[in-house]
Amino acid sequence: MKLLVTGGAGYIGSHTVRELVSAGHEVIVLDNLVYGHREALIDDGVQLYEGDLGDQDFVRQIFTEHAIEAVIHFAAYAYVGESVHEPLKYYQNNLAAPLNLLTVMKEYDCKRFIFSSTCATYGVPATIPISENESQEPINPYGQSKLMLEQVLKDCDAAWGLKSVFLRYFNASGASLDGKIGEAHDPETHLIPRVLMAIRGEIPQVDVFGTDYDTPDGTCIRDYIHVIDLADAHLRALDFLQREQVSDYFNLGTGHGISVKAILEAAEKVSGKTVPVVYGDRREGDPPRLIADASKAKEKLGWVAKHSDVDQILQTAWNWDGNFGK
Ligand code: UDP
């Protein structure tokens, strides 16, 4: 298929682009490169349109020049803490800008959409593991902006038959198996890259946010899912849309929780080094436990996590040294 991937130069986007290309799809990437990296697009034949989703004429130009059959939409801001202090930035970029894309898709009768949603749409869940039936009550503007776009997509389905798959990611992690691309956020706030940066001496230490949670070792539990497994889910979602021609939504996680302390131990194991760590206070807005019930994705997409063992996540993240295309 001929696909438009927005945010294709970002972390999850760039890994997905590689999987799409190796499956034989033709990929056009739209990315403003604010957080994405040109160097993350390492496959021949991937065409990059550098620009902003907020510019409707720019988006239209892509659809004029290419017969786009489906859109995979990654482009978004994803710093939860920043979203609390700068909500308009998040509603502008994650909600308003994609309306331009949808407007142009409607014009060009393009009716397949895969959307990067998030477990942050569930807020603080009442039940663990979290199924897709959990009520969606986000506790920050980031999660709210994603949930609002989910609603827009449902309305577009009802009005003009846009078929969407929402993929609600849990904690994306790891790097490509060949070490050529990986996670490269600036600033980097995520646990695993920060732990590895501390081991490499790039930051003085990693702060553990809270040791008094109601969990077995007192630290927060998350469901870490390898970025290659996430990429694979997008290919399956594409097949699903072609096959079933209905909208649907899926949690993407492993169903297993890993504590912050367990991540530190796994990092020490793969690196053979000690993590410089400071145990500190809780970070505002962190739910104690987020674990997916991903059985629906298994049943309907045939998707299961294959690379998300904690050791493989840490090993691939450790092999990736931030040097694109080496
Ligand atoms: N965390 C931590 N120190 C850090 C970054 C994160 O202790 O420097 C904890 C955080 O409180 C959470 C878990 O690690 O419990 C995962 O955080 P991350 O920011 O990677 O992902 P999130 O779950 O917030 O999306």
3-state percent helix, strand, coil for the chain, nearest multiple of 5: 40, 20, 40
Cα distance between residue 24 and residue 19, in whole Å: 9
CA of 278 to the centre of ligand 1 (A): 14
Q: Does the CB atom of residue 206 touch ligand 1 within 6 A?
A: yes
Cα distance between residue 47 and residue 29, in whole Å: 6
Task: Count the Cβ atoms, other than its own, within 10 Å of residue 285.
Answer: 16
Q: Does the CB atom of residue 165 touch ligand 1 within 6 A?
A: no
Task: Count the Cβ atoms, other than its own, within 10 Å of residue 321.
Answer: 12
Domain boundary among 211, 234, 252: 252
Whether 178 is covered by a domain: the verdict is no
Per the CB < 8 A criterion, the answer to whether 259 and 215 are in contact is yes
Q: Does the CB atom of residue 189 touch ligand 1 within 6 A?
A: yes
Using the predicted structure, report yes or no on whether residue 325 has a pLDDT greater than 60.
no
Q: What percent of the chain clears pLDDT 90, i.e. is strictly above it?
A: 94
Whether 128 is covered by a domain: the verdict is yes
In order of 62, 161, 188, the CA distances from 248 in angstroms are 27, 13, 32
The one catalytic residue in 142, 169, 213, 224 is 142
Q: Do residue 85 and residue 207 come from a single domain?
A: no
Q: Supply 306's token pair.
A: 């294959």
In order of 5, 7, 49, 50, 159, the CA distances from 63 in angstroms are 12, 16, 11, 14, 21
CA of 87 to the centre of ligand 1 (A): 21
The b-or-e profile of 61-90 (16+ CB within 10 A means b, else e) is ebbeebebbbbbbbbbbbbbebbeeeeeeb
pLDDT band for 284, please (50, 70, 90 cuts).
confident
Using the predicted structure, report yes or no on whether residue 326 has a pLDDT greater than 60.
no
Q: Do residue 127 and residue 47 come from a single domain?
A: yes
Q: Do residue 80 and residue 97 come from a single domain?
A: yes
CA of 223 to the centre of ligand 1 (A): 11
Q: Does the CB atom of residue 209 touch ligand 1 within 6 A?
A: yes
What is the length of the chain?
326
Output the domain CATH number for residue 279. Answer: 3.90.25.10
Q: Do residue 104 and residue 196 come from a single domain?
A: no
- Look at the chain and report how many structural domains it folds into: 2
Q: Do residue 198 and residue 106 come from a single domain?
A: no
CA of 24 to the centre of ligand 1 (A): 36
Whether 143 is covered by a domain: the verdict is yes
What is the arithmetic mean of pLDDT over 281-290? Answer: 90
Q: Does the CB atom of residue 222 touch ligand 1 within 6 A?
A: yes
Nearest CA owner, ligand 1 atom 10: 209
pLDDT band for 323, please (50, 70, 90 cuts).
confident
Whether 180 is covered by a domain: the verdict is no
Kindly report, residue by residue over 201-243, the tens digit of the pLDDT.
999 999 999 999 999 999 999 999 999 999 999 999 999 999 9
Kindly report, residue by residue over 28-57, the tens digit of the pLDDT.
999 999 999 999 999 999 999 999 999 999
**Ligand 1 atom with minimal separation from the 283 CA:** 11
Predicted confidence at residue 322, as pLDDT, reads 75
Q: Does the CB atom of residue 194 touch ligand 1 within 6 A?
A: yes
What is the arithmetic mean of pLDDT over 250-275? Answer: 98
pTM (global) more than 0.95:
yes
Helix (H), strand (E) at residue 102? helix 97-107
- Tokens 């409707």 belong to residue: 56
Q: Which domain holds residue 205?
A: 191-223+255-319
Catalytic site includes residue 142: yes
Instruction: Classify burial at 282, counting beta carbons within 10 Å of its beta carbon; exposed 0-12, middle 13-18, buried 19 or more.
Output: middle
